[in-house]
């Protein structure tokens, strides 16, 4: 199921809907702090998989087989979800939580879960406590989902027992979930973040972000227009932070959710960003800093702060 677009009238009613949802149990996650990210930047021993090439990155999946586990909606801090993880892997892996947008369920962003897991990450795609939760609430729920993964990895009865490196964490999110991913990054307890068509209004601390962030935007997004959402968010992030901005040619609001004609592009950049900054794997830097990105007809605008040394 894809994201159902909502019009300007619906956006104008968001505050009222959120107020009603909060009174009906649709609030945010817990306020516990995530562990601090590790300080290692290279030769950290986190690398997995073969030396990448473009065909490898554009493929529909990575080199690892994966399994999945359902997280019940009764869990504390978020609305349940699905964990995707590599099968038959013994080393600790980085973890990623992914949140959907306004009125969505996890199905809107589920394509990313198996893809990233097949490249060596533990990924949870979440449902939110209420489908009307705002970006800040979604960010707390993303953090709660990461805390849940850490707790599960410490339990001998869990399918992901021993799989999580709690000092290598990331958030992703679509639309209001993308706004949530940025709010999580502004708290600086992550190693990477990828907001997809991010939507956020009101005050924020995005000028405090020190986490490597890649924003994926959609050129013809009428729900979160690039010039009032993704672009100013990118510009607000300090220039001394590793960051990138990719605008997908002709894309509507859902262009970066996956399972569409942009799959090869999304896989190339999404996997490369997470491998470079979660696994500290510099073999992926040439795909981020090397090419003339706008020579790709699928990319209408690209900005970055390369090199990512």
Active-site annotation, residues = 175, 221, 253
Rounded CA-CA distance 227/224 in Å is 9
Question: Rounded to whole angstroms, what are the CA distances from 215 to 85, 129, 144, 233?
Answer: 24, 25, 22, 9
Q: Tokens at residue 163, please?
A: 């799989």
What's the maximum distance between 2 C-alpha atoms anywhere in the chain?
A: 51
Nearest to 121 by CA among 90, 150, 86, 146: 86
List strand residue ranges (DSSP E) for the chain, in order: 66-71, 81-86, 93-99, 122-126, 164-174, 192-196, 213-218, 243-248, 299-304
Number of residues in the chain:
309
> Alpha carbon of 180 to those of 96, 122, 291: distances in Å?
13, 19, 30
Residue 17: other Cβ atoms inside 10 A: 18
Give the separation between CA 16 and CA 39, rounded to whole angstroms. Answer: 42
Kindly report the backbone phi and psi dihedral angles of residue 52, in degrees, each rounded to the nearest multiple of 5, phi listed first.
-80, 150
């Amino acid at each position: 199921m894809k994201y159902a677009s909502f019009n300007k009238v619906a956006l104008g009613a968001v505050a009222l809907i959120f107020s009603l949802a909060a009174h009906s149990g649709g609030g945010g996650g817990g306020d516990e702090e995530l562990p601090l990210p590790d300080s290692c930047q290279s030769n950290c021993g986190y690398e997995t998989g073969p030396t990448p090439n473009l065909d490898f990155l554009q493929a529909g999946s990575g080199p690892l087989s994966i399994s999945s586990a359902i997280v019940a909606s009764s869990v504390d801090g978020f609305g349940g979800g699905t964990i995707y993880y590599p099968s038959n892997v013994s080393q600790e892996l980085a973890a990623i939580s992914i949140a959907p947008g306004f009125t969505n369920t996890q199905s809107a962003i589920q394509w990313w879960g198996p893809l990233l897991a097949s490249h060596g990450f533990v990924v949870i795609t979440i449902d939110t406590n209420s489908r009307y939760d705002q970006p800040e609430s979604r960010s707390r729920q993303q953090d709660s989902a990461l805390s849940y993964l850490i707790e599960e990895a410490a339990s001998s009865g869990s399918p992901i027992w021993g799989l999580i490196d709690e000092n290598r964490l990331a958030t992703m999110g679509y639309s209001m979930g993308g706004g949530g991913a940025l709010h999580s990054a502004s708290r600086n307890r992550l190693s990477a973040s990828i907001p997809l068509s991010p939507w956020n209004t009101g005050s924020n601390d995005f000028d405090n972000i020190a986490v490597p962030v890649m924003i994926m935007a959609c050129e013809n997004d009428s729900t979160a227009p690039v010039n009032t959402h993704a672009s100013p968010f990118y510009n607000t992030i300090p220039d001394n932070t590793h960051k990138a901005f990719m605008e997908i040619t002709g894309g509507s609001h859902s262009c970066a959710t996956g399972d569409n004609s942009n799959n090869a592009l999304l896989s190339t950049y999404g996997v490369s960003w997470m491998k470079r900054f979660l696994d500290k794997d510099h073999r992926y830097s040439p795909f981020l800093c090397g090419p003339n990105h706008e020579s790709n007809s699928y990319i209408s605008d690209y900005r970055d702060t390369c090199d990512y040394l």
